[in-house]
Structure 1
Amino acid sequence: MILGLTAAAIATGIAAALVAGFVRGLAGFGMAILLVPILGLAIPPVEAVVSANWLGFAISLVSLRKQVSESERSAWVIAAAALVAIPLGVLGLSAISPPVARLLIALIALGAFVAVLLPPRPHAKPARGETVATGLAAGVLTGFAGMPGPPVVPYYVRRPIPPAIARASMMSVFMVTQAAGALTAIVLGVATWREAAIALGLYPAVFIGNWAGARAFGRIDPTAWRWIAGGMLGLAAGGAVLKLATA
């Protein structure tokens, strides 16, 4: 065993990381939504969440300069608001039992899929209050489930802005929130550096998947981009719920 993980757990983690990395490279979101529910069936939910946060931060560094330059200013407002709420999510995760945590995380993943497919919004710029509220919700979900995406993805994907801007903005939010989520879990004593070691072991699979997804991005039109990303999230979320029900 490596890091106390069985061969089956390692294989599950690598497969989930490869697919999650591809979706992240293609859509700019979805890595944690795919990875955490499946990884959480192989290792304790807290470890799955914190490992996914480390992975999300690490992969964000690959295209950092381009990502930051293309991000909308709202990304930094959302990220700043999220930092305030992350400790609440971490404490919530540590306070409930693993089975309940697995169920809630799977349901959050399913909810993210539904949110992506909601009708587009007609206005390009939401009010400042909505932006801040999105950040607070993202912070709680980062700490609790390693998933800042459910509130952030609809904020950008449903608006009439170019996919490149939406993708870069989401990536920037996730970079900040997931780094903060991992460090907060350690500071609060909920996690250790073991999760960083697990993330390091899964990083090559995420990197390869992200590279393949990034190459596919830009070769499809915006409508197809949204539907493909949403479909992948739906399959993954449904699979996580099904596995949970039969576990």
Structure 2
Amino acid sequence: MPEYFGQTPTGLAVIVFAAFIGGVVRGFSGFGTALIFLPIASPYLGPFGAIIALTVMDIFGPIPNLRRAWAVVDKADLVRLLFGCALILPVGLWLLTRTQPEVFRYLVSVISLLMLAVLIFGLRYRGKVRRRMVVAIGGAAGLLGGVAGIPGPAVIMFYMSRPLPVTIIRATILLFLFAFDLLILGYLSGMGRLSVASVGLGLALAMPNMAGNWLGGWMFRPEHERLYRAAAYLVIATAALSGLPLWG
């Protein structure tokens, strides 16, 4: 049976489907690509392969919105987040090199389900925010991003809890995740983990992912936000549970 990017046609079809559905969920809910893609794709690609494919395909989506986000973001806070992330991300990647693929799949699924629970129950941090706390949040994102490929939960939960305009919250999350993609690609390149096949697969997946983003955005109607978010939560839960090694 022929292979494409090191995958059988069936495996590649599942990976493309995960990229597309991740885009749809992000298009109508504003989040969820990694929470969908990693649990489904990591059994086929392995930890590093799944993270590389996700990072490369996901790096193109935010580009049209970068200038507008940069105009409103709190640049000092963004620098603090990225400083903490850059400091701790190598630790997360080092831990990943010593993590078995089955453990990685458990980590991804458990973190996805925990993030889902936080979103559903609306848990928030209500305390006072200090500069060192922002650096620590960036460090937590770097650790989670390195060891499990999911940097978003720490930053999303932290900023969603702050009494800031939604434009600043969205801009901070968008720019942080875009910069994280560049950071992790740089670190992975330095570790010799990037390959033509893994980067090529990520580039190939960018098209179905962007198509999913477009479809999700087209489907979204503000008056049905609750319905769409509920659908996104259901898809994330299904993907997280399906990614558990319990099923083989």
Q: For residue 222 of structure 2, give the secondary structure of its aligned residue in structure 1.
A: coil
Residues 67-96 of structure 1: CA distance to partner in whole angstroms, max 9, x if unpaired? 333434434421232111111111111122
Equivalent in the alignment of 2:175 = 172
Query: Contact conserved, 1:112 with 1:150, CA < 8 A, in 2?
Result: yes
- Structure with max Cα Rg: 2
**Which residue identity is paired with 1:133?**
A
User: Structure 1: which 5+ runs fail to align?
Assistant: none
> After superposition, what is the alpha-carbon deviation per residue over 1:102-131, rounded to whole angstroms, capped at 9, x for unaligned?
222221222221222343548597332322
Task: Answer whether contact 2:46 2:101 (CA < 8 A) is retained.
Answer: yes
TM-score (structure 1 length as normaliser): 0.86
Instruction: Tell me, in whole angstroms, the C-alpha distance in 2 between the residues paired with 1:217 and 1:70.
Output: 24
Corresponding residue to 1:71 among 70, 73, 89: 73
Structure 2 residue runs of 5 or longer lacking an equivalent are none
Kindly provide the CA deviation profile for residues 181-219 of structure 1, in whole angstroms up to 9, marking residues without a partner as x. 122112112333432111011111110111223345572
SS in 1 for 2:85: helix
Superposition deviation, residue 163 in structure 1: 4.2
- Equivalent residue, structure 1, for 2:90: 87
Distance, in Å, in 1 between the alignment partners of 2:167 and 2:239 is 24
Q: Secondary structure at the match of 2:60?
A: helix
Match of residue 33 from structure 1? 35
| Corresponding residue for residue 2 of structure 1 | 4
Task: Give the length in aligned residue pairs.
Answer: 245
Give 1:151's match in structure 2, choosing from 154, 159, 177: 154
Q: Give the AA of the match of 1:55.
A: M
Paired AA for residue 77 in structure 1: R
1:55 maps to 2:57: yes
Deviation at 1:238, TM superposition (A): 2.9
Alpha-carbon contact 2:58-2:206 (below 8 Å) kept: no
Rounded to whole Å, the distance in 2 between the matches of 1:67 and 1:239 is: 35
Give the aligned partner of residue 190 of structure 1. Answer: 193
d(CA) in 1 for partners of 2:224 and 2:130? 28
Summarize the alignment of residues 127-142 of structure 1 with structure 2, pairs less than 5 Å apart: 127-142=130-145
- Aligned counterpart in structure 2 of residue 205 of structure 1, from 204, 208, 211: 208
- What is the alpha-carbon root mean square deviation over aligned residues? 2.6
Task: Say if 1:29 and 1:171, in contact at 8 Å, map to a contact too.
Answer: no
Cα distance in structure 1, aligned partners of 2:80 and 2:220: 26
Sequence identity of aligned pairs in percent? 26
